[in-house]
Chains A and B, each alone.
Chain A
Amino acid sequence: GAGVSQSPRYKVTKRGQDVALRCDPISGHVSLYWYRQALGQGPEFLTYFNYEAQQDKSGLPNDRFSAERPEGSISTLTIQRTEQRDSAMYRCASMGGYNEQFFGPGTRLTVL
């Protein structure tokens, strides 16, 4: 596709459930990033990949959060045993050759 796509756009889940958020980057973009944006705040870095290799996961809040990009294209961010504090907008971005990160529409996660 022409831009970064994310699915689902909205996810409502109950506390304790696992969720998987998907990101499909711009075709040919090597680098893929995950950010989390709380209401009224700017996005905060979670993790990023070059091709299939996870280069940095220092922004992941705890070990309930994990991400993968097994074939160097689509990425999945998984949150296990969700908690209410996990509620936020989760944004994916991909970067081409000019240091510009292009963001997808985001997944709004609500944990009840």
Chain B
Amino acid sequence: AQKVTQAQTEISVVEKEDVTLDCVYETRDTTYYLFWYKQPPSGELVFLIRRNSFDEQNEISGRYSWNFQKSTSSFNFTITASQVVDSAVYFCALRGNSGGSNYKLTFGKGTLLTVNP
């Protein structure tokens, strides 16, 4: 069975602070994909990143960075110098690569990030 845990329900920071959103996953698949999505107050789900399980290289995109640690089954997301526009619910998701898990996404419950001016 696939499982994604986002232990932080809500995080509140002041603008320009760095913030890290945690994601821990469980899967029996040897190959899998991890994702982060952003859900702003307007409600849409915006794709941010996909990471393959065989590629443990960390990634940076502007103020966003992702730390994939296979040894601890974690895929954490850091926003550097946060801005008010970063306020949203962030979801981590997992897609397996075998049997009944090789197409659907399993989402965590999300972390509500509030960035205050």
* Residues A31 and B103 in contact, CB atoms below 8 Å apart: yes
Chain A residues with a Cβ under 8 A of chain B: 31, 33, 35, 40-45, 48, 55-56, 58-59, 89, 91, 93, 98-106, 108
Question: In the complex, how many residue pairs between chain A and chain B have their CB atoms under 8 Å apart?
Answer: 58
Residues of chain B touching chain A, judged by Cβ–Cβ distance below 8 Å, are: 4, 33, 35, 37, 43-47, 50, 91, 93, 95, 100, 103-110
Bound: A55/B102 CA distance, A: 11
Q: Are A105 and B44 in contact, CB atoms less than 8 angstroms apart? A: yes
A106 to B46, CA, bound (A): 12
Check B103–A43 contact: CB distance below 8 A. Answer: no
Do the beta carbons of B100 and A56 come within 8 Å of each other? yes
CA distance A33 to B93 in the complex (A): 15
B45 engages A99 (CB within 8 Å):
no
User: Judging by beta carbons under 8 Å apart, are B104 and A33 in contact?
Assistant: yes
Residue in A42, A44, A99 whose beta carbon sits within 8 Å of that of B95 in the complex: A99
Q: How far is the CA of A13 from the CA of B41 in the complex (A)?
A: 24
State whether A43 and B107 are in contact (beta carbons under 8 Å apart), knowing that A58-B100, A100-B50 are contacts in the complex.
Answer: yes
Determine chain A's interface SS by DSSP, over half rule: strand
> B91: nearest residue on chain A (CB-CB)?
A42
In the assembled complex, which residues on chain B have CB atoms less than 8 Å from the CB atom of A89? 43
Whether A42 contacts B103 by the Cβ 8 Å rule is no
CA distance A45 to B103 in the complex (A): 10
Bound together, the chains give a CA A35 to CA B107 distance in angstroms of: 11
- By the criterion CB–CB under 8 Å, are A106 and B44 in contact? yes
Known A-B contacts: A44-B107, A48-B104, A99-B50. Give 4 more (CB < 8 A).
A43-B45, A89-B43, A101-B105, A105-B44
A42 to B91, CA, bound (A): 7
List chain A residues, Cβ under 8 A from B100: 56, 58
Asked, given contacts A89-B43, A106-B44, whether A43 binds B50 with beta carbons under 8 Å apart, the answer is no
Bound-complex Cα distance A13 to B44 (A): 22
